[in-house]
Chain A
């Protein structure tokens, strides 16, 4: 399986990087190239840890877009927070089973982070674990 995952990563990382560096809408948080590359590294590790293969440009551009207007993130915390959110997303993805959509997970993380969690990652991780482990 290493051959397949390795091939996939080579094929879609440039696509993913390009999407991450696309200028966002006005007022949105942005990543530097170095931060985007670090995020790809986080993704690579998370996919390997969770036993997943990701297709196309992947979820990261969507994830970045979803949290680019967060009330609880700023320029200093945005990149690091995205790394944590990405790891959490892939963990949920692996746990949730095939019937749960990416958009459902993304929406859950976004609404809880901005809502009941008030930007608290540990609380968000607890809620996500509770929600998606039951789905599997």
Chain B
């Protein structure tokens, strides 16, 4: 964002954008406001560059104003695309009563669309998106951050739709009676439950066997890398043919599998029962 080459290229645009912002009220602007407008211009220029997968260095022969205008159009297009995606997701969104997820989706994100300013502050994300998706990229900002967040939530919803509402709620309640007021990721809990249930069946041949016993046996006989591979396979089997985008859902949930294997390695024997909340 601070490249000198970009700044030089953006400076003529800055004068035009400043005039538009000041709208004849003044000839002066504070450093803070000037910096905000410069960042707005650079955000649009980089947005356009990234969208077309070009090299990030500006082409000397190309007019900065034109590139900015193309970038601004790309930002505005991204907002429209994100709004459409949001509307589609809202039709069947499931939060299982978790307030954090509900507020983030039904209040914060519409607030973003209401307040977002692609012209004077496209780099502002405006909202914190408190519900933690599993693939959050904290380096993103503006509509790109919200778009990536919605993509993550969208994949998570595909996964959550695999579970009947009542079963999911019962399982979450067993994991944490207070889960509706908590701030963790719901898909991680349900994923762990469904995988442990599948493992119990496979390792002991008995779905009703103790999960703690099953996990204790599994970690003695199976190396972590193999454990992770097995969980990946189970997840692929679970999502194949059931989720619209099974590969993407698996990629989204992959960090949770890795976390589970790591946790299994360090959990003491008496803690395995809690680690392995299972589904009825």
Contacts and interface: CB of A to CB of B under 8 A. Distances in A.
Contact of A56 (B11, B27, B32, B38): B27
B interface residue count range (under 10 / 10 to 19 / 20 to 34 / 35 or more): 20 to 34
Contacts of B33: 98
Interface string B6-17: 010001001100
A55 B11 contact: no
Contact of B22 (A1, A3, A55, A90): A55
A93 B11 contact: no
Interface in B190-210: none
Interface stretch (A25-33, A46-54, A69-77, A108-116): A46-54
Contacts of B30: 51-53, 94
Contacts of A7: 11
Q: Which of A7, A53, A59, A90 lies at the interface centre, i.e. has the most chain B CB atoms within 10 A of its CB?
A: A53
A53 B25 contact: no
A4 B34 contact: yes
B38 A55 contact: no
A58 interface: yes
A93 B28 contact: yes
Contacts of A55: 15, 18-19, 22, 27-29
Contacts of A3: 4, 7
Contact of B11 (A4, A52, A102): A4
Contacts of B18: 53, 55
A53 B29 contact: yes
B37 to A, nearest CB: 10
Interface in A1-57: 1, 3-5, 7, 11, 47, 51-56
Contact of B38 (A4, A47, A90): A4
A5 B30 CA distance: 11
Nearest to A2: B31
A134 interface: no
B11 A101 contact: no
Interface of A: 1, 3-5, 7, 11, 47, 51-56, 58-59, 90, 93-94, 98-102
Interface of B: 4, 7, 11, 14-15, 18-19, 22, 24-35, 38
Q: Lowest 10 CB-CB distances: which A-B pairs, in order?
A: A53-B34, A52-B28, A101-B25, A1-B31, A51-B31, A102-B26, A54-B28, A93-B28, A53-B29, A55-B18
